[in-house]
Structure 1
Amino acid sequence: MKKSFKDLDDYCIHGYESGNVNYQSDKQNIAIIHRNQDSLVNDSSNLIYNIFMPEVLRFQTYINQYNQGKSVLVEDGFIKHEPNSDYPSHEDFNSELCFTYKNKNVLGFGDFTILENGYQPSGGGKADSVTHVIHLTKKETASTKDKIVVYHYLTTPSEEADNKRRSAKTIAKAYNSRTQFLYTSGIKLIEGKYPNGTSLGMYKRIGVAHHIELIHSLI
């Protein structure tokens, strides 16, 4: 790739954990990822972002030591349920930073979309025993307060034993409710898969694509 872009480093930001002192000798643009308050990082002209992960957000005095104009707050918004059959029909998204980050005078925010902090793709279980689920987010207003709500469309093996029909039924549930959500590329994927089923991996792709476009529309 460097052969294609003579000044590739001008397009890249090098990321370092806050305890990694190698950032001090890096002359390229850098971002520091903060997971604890053990190491205080000095500001510099090439330090573009201080990214504060969920583990450190409760330490406000630590965060306040940094230039807020370079600060990015990352919350773990998605509530993971195991097994999939434990998901309720809907629940509040566990982050409101899309509504509040400007009031905090920070540069930006993140929320892991519909993937939890530390998400690792699983090897999957036996197809006959997996509950299929699609996660779709939307903005709602309750008592004049805006919030994000996650809707879970799931089909359990007890509801549909056949794996392909279970997938088709899950797609159908999301498809039949699609008009209540912002029309995004995620919704378009659902429309493209209906009335057939799809892979388990596609459920994640649908939810992530939809959530990113929803948050983009709100900021």
Structure 2
Amino acid sequence: MTTETISTPAPPAPHPAQLTARLDSGLSRWLWLVKWLLALPHHIVLALLWIAFMLVGLVAFFSILFTGRYPRPLFDFTAGVLRWDWRVSYYAYGALGTDRYPPFSLADSPDYPARWDVAYPERLSRGLVLVKWWLLAIPHYLVLGLVGGGIRALIGLLSLYAGIALAVTGRYPPGIFDLVVGLNRWVLRVFAYVALLTDEYPPFRLDQGGSEPPAATPR
């Protein structure tokens, strides 16, 4: 009599862009109503940073095209803008997951409940840089644009629902939190790819929850 071993699929390999979030306890029932105003200074600064982001991206494009490298200072700036934007989104209407005011910083803040980072690649494909940000990313643009009339709109609606739940019950629905963070994770993986920070194609996978999926362990 033979016994068959059922193999379980291996966990996905870790993506170079890592997004984590921790839902704060004791969130205010009503602070979320005015976070649009409280976050306004960040949005003003980010508007300027996004202009610089595009200019830096243009310089990085030609650097990768001719040398196969993303200059480290430019890489750190680009990643920092995405990191800053994620912290503000997490505080405000991209998640409403914390009442801690986000820092005015491009650098990582280890004690802040929302974090994002991307591994620096020593080499990048000189050929992919010509097509990945407009051609290869089209399937993701289509999916993220169609879900809920636009992924940003869907995230905003889910965050609004969470805010109403906070006002009524004093609790942030955990299922909504996991979904909101998963959607933001998908968006930022695509951003990392089209911003030329990585050559790894973003997976068509909704990894929900505050932690990244566990890495596969070698056998």
> Which TM bucket (shorter chain)?
under 0.3
**Structure ranking higher in helix proportion:** 2
Rg (Cα) greater in structure: 1
TM-score (norm 1): 0.25
**Structure ranking higher in strand proportion:** 1
